[in-house]
Chains A and B, each alone.
Chain A
Amino acid sequence: MTQHIPSALTDLPVGLLDRLHTRLAADAASADLLDVAYRTLDSPVGPLLLAATPRGLLRVAFDSEDHDAVLAAIAAKVSPRILFAPERLDAAARELDEYFARTRTTFDLPLDHALSKGFRQTVQTYLPLIPYGHTETYAHVAARVGNPRAVRAVGTACATNPLPLVLPCHRVVRSDGSPGGYAGGPEAKTALIALEAA
């Protein structure tokens, strides 16, 4: 294609595609075709990716997890019908903002646990029972979920938590008092513990 074509055929009005994209997201939601909606949210621990199905919040991801890779994984595991559609995430974004502003200590959001199962999900659903501002050790959590020998599995469950912050895996620490690993990086974990202790 070496021939040139008139720019009048290729130039598009500024903002038209964004407007059409917004309309597509709305049409898709009303046609029940928006399987996964996502947006990003700036936070003190870096940009967060938030993704939700019609059932609830599906995923919260840190920048270090690579948002494109996270969306690709959701496409493979849940559905490729994914669109940037902030509206569905309004409540989640608001509650996270309040959490970082220290005006919220618990989350009250519908959740979709489709990205975890079995023992990992058992551990992850236990996490909100650790009170705001407190920490528990991996061993303690293992005992609380009824499997005291599964300390490493609790570590894996925390490391693979699809809903960090909302399911507060940052409140689970090593028995020597050091914070331990975190999907958002050890600094983020320390910062969150400090935020809740303030």
Chain B
Amino acid sequence: MTKIPFETVVARHGTAVLRVCRAVVGIHDAEDAWSETFLAALRAYPQLPENANLEAWLVTIAHRKAIDIIRGRQRQAHPVAEVPERPSTLGIPGATDADLHHAVTRLPTKQRQAVAYHYLGGLPYSEVAEVIGGSAEAARRAGSDGIAALRRHLAAPAENPRITTAAPAHPASRGARP
């Protein structure tokens, strides 16, 4: 039993981790979050125990990188008397996808993380709880409240006439690279 090539790790988990990053830090910062996650994972990979759960390990790293990115953003922000109108940094302005991503970013942090790690990262709530802290039951409640809030957002037909639903994301493989 030896470790699989890291390329296979990227092929198996890259899609799910990218979805998680887009939900947690937004479309704009997701590429940096993904890149930093996989670079950190590559660095630590030789020391990872062979029986480790790769998906949970990667989501944990992505979680930390997302926190770093969000903190960095808050440091850059400076208080102003009135918030100026400006284009969304979360995607194409006016697109329904960006609108939904905006709705995700407005969820309370724990809900957003629980939705991302459970529904997009594919982790069971017991593992989500290990990543974000608290009990599995609290993680389940946060995930379910979060998805309900997103549903309510989607249920406003005038705002979002084109949004459809898809089956839950499981880690999709891009297949072996040539």
Contact check: which of B18, B42, B45, B164 meets A12 at CB < 8 Å?
A: B18
B169 x A27 contact (CB < 8 A): no
Binding site for A on B (CB under 8 A): 2-7, 10, 14-15, 18-19, 22-23, 31, 34-35, 38-39, 42-43, 45-46, 96-97, 100-101, 104, 115, 118-120, 122, 147, 150, 154, 163-169, 174, 176-178
The verdict on A158 contacting chain B, using a C-beta distance below 8 Å, is no
Contact check: which of A17, A33, A84 meets B42 at CB < 8 Å?
A: A33
User: Chain B at the A interface: mostly helix, strand, loop or mixed?
Assistant: helix
A11 x B97 contact (CB < 8 A): yes
Contact check: which of A5, A20, A47, A79 meets B34 at CB < 8 Å?
A: A20
How many interface residues does chain A have, given as a range? 35 or more
The verdict on A14 contacting chain B, using a C-beta distance below 8 Å, is no
The verdict on A127 contacting chain B, using a C-beta distance below 8 Å, is no
User: Inside 8 A of A20's CB, which chain B residues have their CB?
Assistant: 14, 18, 31, 34-35, 38
A40 to chain B, nearest CB (A): 5
A3 to B6: give the CA distance in the assembly, Å: 31
Q: Which residue of B lies closest to A37 (CB)?
A: B7
B106 to chain A, nearest CB (A): 14
Q: A4-B168, A8-B100, A8-B101 are in contact. List 13 more A-B contacts (CB 8 A).
A: A3-B119, A6-B150, A8-B163, A9-B104, A9-B119, A9-B169, A20-B34, A23-B31, A23-B35, A82-B5, A82-B6, A83-B7, A83-B10
